[in-house]
Amino acid sequence: NAIAVGRNTTTITQFILLGFFEFPKLTVVLFSIFLGIYLLTVSWNLGLITLIRMDSHLHTPMYFFLSNLSFVDICYVSTIAPRMLSDFFEKHKFISFVGCTMQYFFLSILGLTECSFLAAMAYDRYAAICNPLLYTAIMSPTLCLQMLVGSWISGFFGSFTQLCALLQLHFCGPNIINHFFCDLPQLMILSCSDTFFLQVIISVLTVIFGLTSVLVIIISYGYIVATVLKITSAEGRSKAFDTCASHLTVVILFYGSGTYVYLWPSSDGSLSQSKFASILYTAVIPMLNPLVYSLRNKEIKDALNRWKKRIFS
């Protein structure tokens, strides 16, 4: 798992993913749980995408972004879950350096893109509630497509910048990653090089994607709250709240778990907690997103009822 470079240095060509080695007696149980989560995530998100595409009543900007968010969630969990599940029964959990960096590269693209999507969806809710008469003009198909393409392009270049800086690092050992996937903090710990430049890039990207996205969401909901408070009827306020509650729930889960994993000081005693927190945002939240958007959403319930009638009739 290493090759000699020069006289006294080596370069790591493989890493070892420890996964959930702390729980050897729970291998079958954990495998079953994570396999179930993965299958539910893929099926529920695919079902939501299909429903939105097939029902003309859901061809609106809100559901356009929601279907693309579901696609991101499927890709996100599929980047991690198959490898993690296969490693449960592997004696030697090796992953090549190229495979490790590529896994993080795609995870980063999807994570940064999701940040942009959540901000775009907040702006969509602002336009719908604060400017209902101009909503269709503001959220035109052209603007929605531009937001979609812009989110993917910015996510790609943000991740590509990190990848270029990561590939400049030298890894001479050890090569053990105490995690179930290749995450950047663990790779930086193992590097024998100075990681200052990469840390600067991460800080810049955090401001561009994280703080900017959160700022857009906060400002959008500030205007939304001010508008909702002006609504005289309780039914009108409840309807406006219901259209935003699902999005706010997803935002809180996504940023809350990410903040805990990446900004909370880690110690050796909290590594297991960090792993399970990572499970929350890499597997559980992608599984819950379609449920969160469906349980209190009258339009999706109506669409499901229409398709049930078509199927059984």
Give tens-digit pLDDT for 203-223.
Answer: 999 999 989 999 999 999 999
Length of the chain (residues): 313
Confirm if 217 and 118 have CB atoms less than 8 A apart: yes
Map tokens 């370069």 to a residue. 11
What average pLDDT score do residues 259-281 get? 70
- Low-confidence winner among 94-108, 188-202, 222-236, 264-278 (lowest mean pLDDT): 264-278
Q: Where are the domains of the chain?
A: 2-312
Q: What strands, in cross-sheet order, belong to the sheet with 94-96?
A: 94-96, 14-17, 176-177
**Cα end-to-end distance, the chain, whole Å:** 61
- The domain made up of 2-312 has a fold known as Rhopdopsin 7-helix transmembrane proteins (1.20.1070)
Q: To 5 degrees, how large is the angle CA 277–CA 283–CA 284? A: 75
- What is the DSSP track for 226-279? HHHHT--SHHHHHHHHHHHHHHHHHHHHHHHHHHHHHHSPP-GGGHHHHHHHHH
Q: How far apart are CA 205 and CA 102, in angstroms?
A: 19
Q: What is the pLDDT of residue 89?
A: 86
- CB proximity list for 171: less than 8 A, separation 6 or greater: 11, 12, 97, 187, 190, 191, 192
Q: Residue 7's pLDDT band (boundaries 50, 70, 90)?
A: very low
- To the nearest 10 degrees (0 to 180), the angle between helices 196-205 and 141-167 is 170
| 240 compared with 51, residue with greater pLDDT | 51
Confirm if 205 and 158 have CB atoms less than 8 A apart: yes
In a 10 Å sphere around its CB, with 0-12 CB exposed, 13-18 middle and 19+ buried, how is residue 190 labelled?
middle
Percent of the chain with pLDDT over 90: 55
Percent of the chain with pLDDT over 70: 93
What average pLDDT score do residues 47-55 get? 93
Confirm if 244 and 125 have CB atoms less than 8 A apart: yes
pLDDT tens-digit map of 80-133: 999 999 999 887 889 999 999 999 999 999 999 999 999 999 999 999 999 989
- CB proximity list for 83: less than 8 A, separation 6 or greater: 95, 103, 181
Output the pTM of the full model. 0.91
Q: What is the pLDDT of residue 196?
A: 92
Q: Which residue(s) pair with 5 in the sheet?
A: 9
Q: How far apart are CA 184 and CA 100, in angstroms?
A: 10
Q: What is the pLDDT of residue 6?
A: 46
**How many CB atoms are closer than 10 A to CB 123?**
19
Here the tokens at position 123 are 């702006």
